[in-house]
Chain A
Amino acid sequence: MKFEYLSHTADAKFRAFGKDIDEAFVNSALAMFNILGDTTDVKITKKIKIELKEKNYESLLYSFLEELLFLLETENLFLSNINNLKINKDFSLNCIVEGDDLQKYDLKGDIKAVTYSDMEIKKTNKGYEIVVVVDI
């Protein structure tokens, strides 16, 4: 399982899994975009490179997901795949995000923002687990 949705009264909350931190970040992004619509059947027409640097995993996760929301609204990117995501020891991240023009899909809901509320990044015996609440 890549991710699951958890109950939250007002907003959307998800738990994403990964064998390492890189994969857990990728699956968090997919969990966020699946709130809007099914990302499994999307043609790739857009590719955008992302480079970020932060002080710790939590800020990096916030910045990463927020950057994706920014691309959603300014580049109309409906994300469906992420290539070569790599998080380095100095909490820098680079990757290439891919997807299609969101106008072509039946998407619902507005993800207004990423929040720190209940955010968790946890190492488990199977890898990493991430919990995020986004404001809808």
Chain B
Amino acid sequence: MEIKKIKDNVYSVEKEGKMNVPVRIFASEKILNKIKKDNSIQQAKNVACMPGIYKQSIMMCDAHQGYGFPVGGVAAFDTKNGCISPGGVGFDINCGVRLMTSDLTKDVVEPKIKELINELFDHVPCGVGKESRIRLDDDEFDFVLNGGLKWALKNDYANEDDLEKCEENGCMATADHTKVSPRARKRGRRQLGTLGAGNHFLEVQYVDEIYDSEIAEKFGIRNKNQIVIMIHSGSRGLGHQVCSDYLRKIENDLPEIFNNLPEKDLAYAPTGTELANDYLGAMSAAANYGWCNRQIISYETRKAFARVFEGEKLNLMYDVAHNIAKVENYEIDGEMREVYVHRKGATRAFGPGHKEIPKIYRDVGQPIILPGSMGTASYVLVGTDKAMNETFSSTPHGAGRLMSRHEAMKKFEGESVRKQLEKQKIYIKAASIRGISEEAPEVYKDVDEIVRVSDEVGIGKKVARLRPLGVIKG
């Protein structure tokens, strides 16, 4: 396969065979060489063959092999003559990140970091099988699925400002709880407000560098050493089961599509079919659950901060999904088109003026939160008009894995990773010490390089760099 350099940090695989559009890869040469090592480019070529795809099948700088779609993949399909794909969203529907800002500074928090992290660990359930303390009856659970953060607001887990600063205001109107199976409900029932395990985390960080002080100020990031809190989690078992359910429905109801796919996880429902509408309803409900999940974790985080730092209040900067499909409008070949943008491991990055950006940020652009790996930096970026034209308003979602979990387990030992982090003054508390080895900083790509590429290409401009002080993990 020929990979052509278009310009710095942009590569292309031209149309061939059944591809409807070319593949575009946004990466530096160094990262491209890493991307080439797995099957992700072939997966992006498979996506390019799907019906109703516009312009290009996109791979972000943090792309790696997924199942069906590559992780770090973006594709837009026509809402009338295209498709919607559970595999294009991924199993963890509305996996995403939020950032909260505080008025505290590093010198105040650092001496108390162990107390704070232990307090957070005691109140935010994390790890395999750790249950939520919240029990809801059927009607309340339907409200979570249909109303998202509206449910959280009504039940005092959220304030008005939280809703204003969340993607979709924390509620996708397309949600339909009746399209979520009893199995999915049952999996999600005892997990609302739990962090999960794997790469999900809650991190207490400090502002290490500010690149654009005007925009940073808008986002509530005022000074170096200011303390912020990052939460990375998703829709837990409920979302995983929704994806699985609809993959199987496509297998059973649309065999003529399913049996002819290059990879079965690429399963899609053509737009206009009942299955496409049902999946959109169920996926949106799972997304709403995901926002409530991160909101309840925030609620516990706020209480923990208020206990340790005498009434300290935390403000939501922004909450953004990185596994989701959204209805959006773009000018394509001179015409406005409505599309389903699938972001599987990619962050929405609307430029200034977009009506879906919270009012107070609208003149500068949408905040983007890009988490690094454990022990490395995370970033705040801002969306751009260029992203609108080049990547359907998308930018990378994180560092992107480099090494398999199995390999990481053989190479790193949990306890020594913990000690190494402690030497860097990062205090970690994990439900499973063995799980830490799989998330060692070395198993991820270099997040600094990924952010540099986004900034240089112009699909997400650097605003601030954050570094961890303390982490809780599953």
| Chain A residues close to B by CB (< 8 Å) | 5-13, 36, 59, 62-63, 66, 69-70, 72-74, 76, 102-103, 106-110, 112-117, 119, 133, 135-136
Contact = CB atoms under 8 A, between A and B. Distances in A.
Interface stretch (B59-67, B141-149, B201-209, B388-396): B59-67
A113 B242 CA distance: 10
B406 interface: yes
Contact of B265 (A8, A107, A115, A136): A115
A73 B194 CA distance: 13
Contacts of A102: 128-129
Interface in B415-434: 431-434
Given A10-B404, A74-B189, A107-B128, 17 more contacts: A6-B406, A7-B404, A7-B407, A8-B406, A9-B64, A9-B403, A10-B64, A11-B67, A63-B248, A73-B237, A103-B129, A108-B435, A109-B128, A109-B435, A110-B196, A113-B241, A117-B265
Contacts of B401: 9-10
Contacts of A63: 248
B197 A109 contact: yes
A59 B198 contact: no
Contact of B128 (A11, A36, A115): A36
B289 to A, nearest CB: 14
29 contacts: A6-B406, A8-B65, A9-B403, A10-B65, A10-B66, A10-B401, A12-B406, A13-B404, A13-B406, A36-B128, A62-B248, A70-B187, A73-B187, A74-B186, A102-B128, A107-B432, A108-B434, A108-B474, A109-B197, A109-B435, A109-B438, A112-B198, A113-B91, A113-B243, A113-B244, A114-B244, A117-B263, A119-B264, A135-B90
B385 interface: no
B38 A9 contact: yes
Contacts of B191: 73
Given A9-B38, A66-B244, A113-B244, A108 B91 contact: no
Contacts of B248: 59, 62-63
Contacts of B474: 108-110
B405 A109 contact: yes
B320 interface: no
B411 to A, nearest CB: 12
A102 B446 CA distance: 35
A85 to B, nearest CB: 21
Interface string B177-192: 0000001001101010
B240 interface: yes
B162 interface: no
Contacts of A76: 129
Interface string B359-389: 0000000000000000000000000000000
B351 interface: no
Nearest to B90: A135
A5 B200 CA distance: 23
**Interface majority SS on A: helix, strand, loop or mixed?**
mixed
B172 interface: no
A-B pairs, top 9 by smallest CB distance, nearest first, are: A117-B67, A108-B435, A116-B264, A108-B432, A113-B91, A110-B197, A115-B67, A107-B128, A102-B129
Interface string B335-350: 0000000000000000
Nearest to A136: B198
Contacts of A9: 38, 64-65, 401-404
Contacts of A11: 67, 405
A7 B129 contact: no
B92 interface: yes
A67 to B, nearest CB: 9
Contacts of A135: 67, 90-92, 240
Nearest to B345: A10
A72 B405 CA distance: 21
Contacts of B189: 74
**Most B C-beta atoms less than 10 A away, residue of A72, A103, A109:** A109
B71 interface: yes
A22 B38 CA distance: 32
Nearest to B198: A110
A6 B405 CA distance: 10
Nearest to A77: B129
A4 to B, nearest CB: 10
Given A103-B129, A107-B129, A108-B197, A5 B183 contact: no
